Structure 1
Amino acid sequence: MSSLKVRLDKKKLERAAYVLKSVAHPVRISIIDLLQQKERLTVSELQEILQIEQSLLSHHLTNMRDKGVVNTKREGKNVFYSLTDSSITSIIDSINTCRIF
């Protein structure tokens, strides 16, 4: 048993837990999936696809932005959302391949 050890350093584990908590909601996982399919989307586009109230969507997007999961860029009247790091989309692949889901 003494040869077993945690393979990730503490900082990486803490960051992973922080990010996973920030996306641990079906709407937020859906947003990641949509932003994997199209590099950037507006609130209106996301709302149309997700079919949820704009205020609820804004709440999720603000949380994800504050946690560093998505970026925003204003262009005229539109605010575009994109992923800060596209490797987070591996969460979608993990969900699709994991048998407990």
Structure 2
Amino acid sequence: MNSNFKDYNEVSDILKALAHPVRLCIVRGLLDKGKCNVSHMQACLDLPQSTVSQHLQKLRSMGIVETDRNGLEVNYSIADIRVKKLVYIFFGEEIENE
């Protein structure tokens, strides 16, 4: 066993962030779509934009998603390949070629 808990803490924090159903839905949606803006997510999830933005902020602070600004529009995509693999495993889906 390795007692370097720093590594375990990072993974544990990522798993905690993914443990929320809305955040997991956002991540899976981003995997399906590739990239997406908050307005599109808000319409799909039928949640207030502020709620979606709070969940995205949590995912972004954990390094799970990243942003790409195009003028006023901000698109989100998955930043952590480990999360991509993990979500595909959870849902029993094939991992696409990278």
**Fold in common (TM above 0.5):** yes
Match of 2:20 among 21, 25, 37: 25
Compare CA radii of gyration and give the structure with the larger one.
Answer: 1
Moved over 4 A (4+): none
- Whether contact under 8 Å (2:63, 2:79) holds in the other structure is yes
- Alignment correspondent of 1:58: 53
Could you tell me which runs of 5 or more consecutive residues in structure 1 were left unpaired when the two chains were aligned. 1-5
Find the aligned partners of 1:51 and 1:92 in 2 and give their Cα distance: 22
Corresponding residue for 2:68? 73
User: How many residues are paired up?
Assistant: 92
Deviation at residue 18 of structure 1 after TM alignment: 1.2
Superposition deviation, residue 11 in structure 1: 4.2
Residue 91 of structure 1: CA displacement? 3.3
Which one of the candidate residues 77, 81, 90 is aligned to 1:82? 77
1:44 partnered with 2:52: no
Q: Which runs of 5+ in 2 are unaligned?
A: 93-98
Distance 1:89 1:67 in 2: 14
* Alpha-carbon RMSD: 2.0
